[in-house]
Amino acid sequence: MLGQMQSQPLLISSLIVHADRHHGEGEIVSRRVEGDIHRTTWAEVARRSRQLANALGGLKLNFGDRVGTIAWNGYRHLELYFGVSGSGHVLHTLNPRLHPEQLAWIINHAGDSVICFDMTFLPLVQAVAANCPTVKHWIALCDADALPAESKLPNLHSYEALLAAQSDTYVWPEFDENSASSMCYTSGTTGNPKGAVYSHRSTLLHAYAGALPDALSLSARDAILPVVPMFHVNAWGLPYSAAATGAKLVFPGPAMDGKSVYELIEAEKVTMAAGVPTVWQMLLGHMQQQGLKFSTLNRTVIGGSACPPAMIAAFNDQYNVDVLHAWGMTEMSPLGTVCTLKNAQTSLPREEQNKIRLKQGRAIYGVDMKIVDEAGKELPWDGKTYGDLLVRGPWIISSYFKGEGGDPLQYDADGLGWFPTGDVATIDADGFMQITDRSKDVIKSGGEWISSIDIENIAMAHPAVAMAACVGMPHPKWDERPIVVVVKKPDAQVEKDELLKFYEGRTAKWQIPDDVVFVDAIPLGATGKMQKMALREQLKDYKLPTA
Amino acid sequence: MLGQMQSQPLLISSLIVHADRHHGEGEIVSRRVEGDIHRTTWAEVARRSRQLANALGGLKLNFGDRVGTIAWNGYRHLELYFGVSGSGHVLHTLNPRLHPEQLAWIINHAGDSVICFDMTFLPLVQAVAANCPTVKHWIALCDADALPAESKLPNLHSYEALLAAQSDTYVWPEFDENSASSMCYTSGTTGNPKGAVYSHRSTLLHAYAGALPDALSLSARDAILPVVPMFHVNAWGLPYSAAATGAKLVFPGPAMDGKSVYELIEAEKVTMAAGVPTVWQMLLGHMQQQGLKFSTLNRTVIGGSACPPAMIAAFNDQYNVDVLHAWGMTEMSPLGTVCTLKNAQTSLPREEQNKIRLKQGRAIYGVDMKIVDEAGKELPWDGKTYGDLLVRGPWIISSYFKGEGGDPLQYDADGLGWFPTGDVATIDADGFMQITDRSKDVIKSGGEWISSIDIENIAMAHPAVAMAACVGMPHPKWDERPIVVVVKKPDAQVEKDELLKFYEGRTAKWQIPDDVVFVDAIPLGATGKMQKMALREQLKDYKLPTA
């Protein structure tokens, strides 16, 4: 017996139609590449998305063709989110911080037909164009008169000229909600990057779930600042959830320094901001230096990599801003867990609550997770036992684009497929998950595991330490022993012995690193994460003093 | 090109699995028919739902068979919500306030195989049983020793005995998410009642949408009191959204009087309560009489019928409780709109905000709405023009059970089907909808429409008026003229002329009723709504003084 409800596929076009009809006057504010502040509305973004859809039709694209973007966070990128996917094409957001060779590899692998780019990235585009034979059109996100006279790019269009030539009447097509809507490549620390291919259905379910009070709690009263790039897993889904809720959006463009971000938050009365720890470090640094306060910001979502406890404390205690510690992956659309308290925990003392806030949080409804041992057996939720973290859900991948890497899923006794996250975690009795390490970074010492993150957090708590990375080094007796690689703060001094002494009482004796290596910089990836693979490469001639 | 995300049907079983795994310790508190307070947890509800699913299998039910319930709000009814639908059967909630003949008609029309009932309703069940040939099993929601010795019911089981005999191991089946999950009949003011058949997909999308910050804003920190009955459109979806968020649930059982509801709110630290205006009237009456305050309640959802402005003001101003004015229908699962402010409105003066709060609110993402004229042409959103309200969305019906009433949808030029709500409404430029009347209640006077609700609200604002109903009476010159039928408060006095004078300055002169008719009571339906059809029947010999 079937239900008798209206049959409507979950399509991204329904988001922009909703924002247009019910939140047409809602503001979209962007700091542009040009440096000025641009103001528009959801109705205008919807209108231009329809023009864009018509323009893509004019370029003779077929259903499912990939349209790449190399762009900052701004209103034109937002229009691409809806115009490209809504018309049945696949939005492929590209990370401009990648090496040109890697970028060209990804464009070719995805088979992008069109690339849209901010003028900032013209040199990058010129560097890769000759190696991208699938790309038939290059669209510069600018006015016609801003196009370079000699670009050497075949079929170079101005986005504004393309749109201006089109009607703003367009009927969004209806198609299977499982159709691909967008794609994003993992940064790929080993092997080639792999493509996660999202569907309209997965994107819409994620848009609902991400806006829930237990997730990012988004409403029509919010002004959202996605500092997290729109090329980084769909800016954590914020553009979609914002359209669903009619929230105001504020885009930082390329200006991610503390001063620019702070000024935008204040000028546009931002209530919620989302980004990775490195960006917040710059913001907090600027504010502490200048003695500034927030007047409207009430919460900030921190994800992308584990958030240092000191940062959570600074936001909470100094600035009265709730930190939503979140965790997810490119393969997860990306939201998996957010750390928000449960009913019974709201009456705990602040100190107890702060301990909970250090965890990555609880599974949003739609996501299930478990920790397993090496045999795949589920481990207890006691907050102590750690194991490989596996996840399931309708916005988690089942395979990579073109089947690269084979079937990534791990199957349980009931035949259910779980995606192995590559993280090692604990889950407590209340369902709060805490990442203890990446599987490949965990240090295996004498049959016991040492969390590299724990070791790094202790070093980071030392006033002279700017950045710390813990890696395991081969040891004849213990298999591996940890060392900590440290970048000192400018003008700050600390010696090896002092730092090792700092560990005493802060961790078990056998977990204290065997050595400290001071360096000028730790290699960072395109999304600001420490690249331990590259670091290990730098240390290939290093020998443990204890080995 | 398809997305490459995990394929998981949206099934109600996933809600109870989530609540079990991630909120197992979450509390479910019920005032029982027996009068005592019963405490359980989501884990225990999940466990017993699995036992129930096994028990239904033992009764040889087939996939899609209907299981009726005649029950108050409580933990056993909650177990039926998940155990029945999760195992592939259809939960059919029955309204015990219906006349036995109507109840039997509905049970036969739905073809219910099993009826589960609270012992309070034993006489009702005994009155209908002989006329319900499709019902093979009667399950009393009680312990074995509470079963009557001579019930005259064939195949009468004790729910507790049935469960106790079953294993609590059960693998929830996977099936098409468009399968029927539950059904509910409209009260049907004209003709026979008609069945709305919900699907697993529609129920899950509604569960996400209903929990959004712009809807009921439900989280794991909430303690929810659904005073709205679980037989009344799935208690507005609260049991499902509560499972998705892991909120605490508090059930009032049969005790809906002001004192019982107040005591439960305070004892269980309820943060959010949902119900129809008549219940809140009793609660506020009790509190005002006793000089009581709320200590934890921060919001209340009022729907089911238009909320009197005085009630919104009392909650907001006297008790500091936000009123979420909501609107929906049995045919809409039921949520359509909720009145929550937008970003730009948060800085308006309180007085302006209160005017907005009188409206039924904005469409939740997933629902679209429009107002149309008699030719089906869309009317402007100016807050003044009114027309027939039409809605679309994945949790709105496409047809009634067994096709009763034919195709209810109205199709637009693009071929999209819209459900006509039977309401007349305005929509303002910000998308806030306000019901001005039911289509059949609007008074058509000299080519102009008069809203019966406006006329009633003015009378209700008079201190001597307890209840008021406005109906149109035939008039030789104006077609119809309004009269107002009034129930006075106990010991209060007001005369016709005084009340008519009260309208002066409160509405246009031509909209002032032609007469006042004082009565002892206005007929109310099973869900507490005024029955204007019955009222008109009572007034069939009435003649307008002006005609």
Q: What is the pLDDT of residues B25-39, one digit of tens each?
A: 999 999 998 789 999
State residue A485's pLDDT score.
95
Q: Which residue has the tokens 């003066």?
A: B349
Search chain A and give the residue with CA nearest B243. Answer: A365
Segment B406-413 mean pLDDT: 94
Displacement of CA B1 from its chain's centroid (Å): 42
- Mind listing the pLDDT tens digit for each residue in B355-403? 999 899 999 999 999 999 989 999 999 999 989 999 999 999 999 999 9
Tell if the CB–CB gap between B180 and A4 is shorter than 8 Å.
yes
Search chain B and give the residue with CA nearest A19. Answer: B365
Nearest of B119, B94, B90, B88 to residue B106 by alpha carbon? B94
| Å between A467 CA and nearest CA of chain B | 35
Distance in angstroms (rounded) separating the CA atoms of residues B148 and B128: 17
- Mind listing the pLDDT tens digit for each residue in B8-22? 999 999 999 999 999
State residue A182's pLDDT score.
98
Nearest of B316, B340, B336, B259 to residue B292 by alpha carbon? B259
Tell if the CB–CB gap between B25 and A217 is shorter than 8 Å.
no
Q: Which two tokens stand for residue A470?
A: 């813990």
Q: Please say if B444 is a catalytic residue.
A: yes
Q: Which two tokens stand for residue A36?
A: 């000025």
A42 in contact with chain B, both atoms CB, cutoff 8 A: no
Please answer whether residues A17 and A46 qualify as being in contact, where contact means their C-beta atoms are separated by less than 8 angstroms.
yes
State residue B189's pLDDT score.
55
The rounded mean pLDDT for chain B is: 93
Stronger pLDDT, B541 or A208, i.e. the higher one: A208
State residue A526's pLDDT score.
65
Cβ burial B344-363 (10 Å sphere, 16+ → b, else e): eeeeeeeeeebebbbbbbbb
Question: SS3 of B145, please?
Answer: helix
State residue B277's pLDDT score.
85
pLDDT lower than 70: segments of chain A: 187-190, 305-306, 526-528
State residue B109's pLDDT score.
97
Distance in angstroms (rounded) separating the CA atoms of residues A328 and A323: 16
Question: SS3 of A272, please?
Answer: strand
Stronger pLDDT, A446 or B514, i.e. the higher one: B514
pLDDT-derived band at B337, boundaries 50, 70, 90 = very high
DSSP H or E run through A484 = strand A479-488
Please answer whether residues A470 and A512 qualify as being in contact, where contact means their C-beta atoms are separated by less than 8 angstroms.
no
- Mind listing the pLDDT tens digit for each residue in B425-442? 999 999 999 998 877 888
Segment B84-111 mean pLDDT: 96
Stronger pLDDT, B528 or B165, i.e. the higher one: B165
State residue A354's pLDDT score.
87
Stronger pLDDT, A230 or B533, i.e. the higher one: A230
Tell if the CB–CB gap between B17 and A362 is shorter than 8 Å.
no
Number of H helices, E strands in chain B: 16, 26
User: Which residues make Cβ contacts (< 8 Å) with residue A19, sequence separation at least 6?
Assistant: A26, A42, A45, A46, A242, A243, A244, A246
Tell if the CB–CB gap between B248 and A343 is shorter than 8 Å.
yes
Residues of A whose CB is below 8 A from B174: none
CB interface of B with A, residues 160-179, below 8 Å: 171, 176, 178-179
Segment B180-187 mean pLDDT: 93
State residue B246's pLDDT score.
97
Stronger pLDDT, A523 or B196, i.e. the higher one: B196
Stronger pLDDT, B86 or A354, i.e. the higher one: B86
Give yes or no for residue B527 having a pLDDT over 70: no
Please answer whether residues A234 and A319 qualify as being in contact, where contact means their C-beta atoms are separated by less than 8 angstroms.
no
Search chain B and give the residue with CA nearest A89. Answer: B1
DSSP H or E run through A51 = helix A42-58
Tell if the CB–CB gap between A180 and B4 is shorter than 8 Å.
yes
Give chain B's end-to-end CA distance (angstroms, integer): 70
- Mind listing the pLDDT tens digit for each residue in B229-259? 999 999 999 999 999 999 999 999 999 899 9
| Å between B111 CA and nearest CA of chain A | 12
Q: Please say if A496 is a catalytic residue.
A: no
Displacement of CA B472 from its chain's centroid (Å): 27
Q: Which two tokens stand for residue B168?
A: 């609590």
Search chain B and give the residue with CA nearest A90. Answer: B1
State residue A189's pLDDT score.
55
Catalytic residue (one of B160, B331, B456, B480): B331
